[in-house]
Amino acid sequence: QVQLVESGGGSVQAGGSLRLSCVASGYTYSNFDIYWGWFRQTPGKEREGVAIVYTQSGTTRYADSVKGRFTISQDNAKNTLYLQMNSLKPEDTAMYYCAADKTGQLSLSRQDYRYWGQGTQVTVSS
């Protein structure tokens, strides 16, 4: 049973930084061959992909809206995923979710992921 638990959300002023973490359980060393990353959602809008990383190679993909500001990274020894968010803007305000699956590609589409965390709220004030 795969479980994902996020932490690190909070409130920050525009221009500030936050780091989100996601700890995965239910994987072993031999099957930790997944694509995982971060999505975000605001009320009334579709959940959108923010950044994805492949555990085996470390290759990444970012949404255009966060390129140059957000950095996704992982510590495979700890089964932990991070999202460093810098130069935050009010439009980054959302619930942020960790997602994981054996998608076979760096997909930013929510329908490609079966496993989700409960979410952590990020609020950026102007």
pLDDT tens sequence across 40-73: 999 999 999 999 999 999 999 999 999 999 999 9
Question: Measuring CA to CA, which residue among 29, 39, 19 is closest to residue 76?
Answer: 29
- Residue 74 pLDDT more than 90? yes
What the block records as the tokens of 57 is 């190679």
Q: In whole angstroms, what is the distance from residue 9 CA to residue 21 CA?
A: 9
Q: In whole angstroms, what is the distance from residue 48 CA to residue 70 CA?
A: 15
- Residue 28 pLDDT more than 80? no
Question: Measuring CA to CA, which residue among 91, 11, 78 is closest to residue 50?
Answer: 91
Residue 76, φ and ψ in degrees, nearest 5: -65, -25
Percentage above 70 pLDDT, the chain? 98
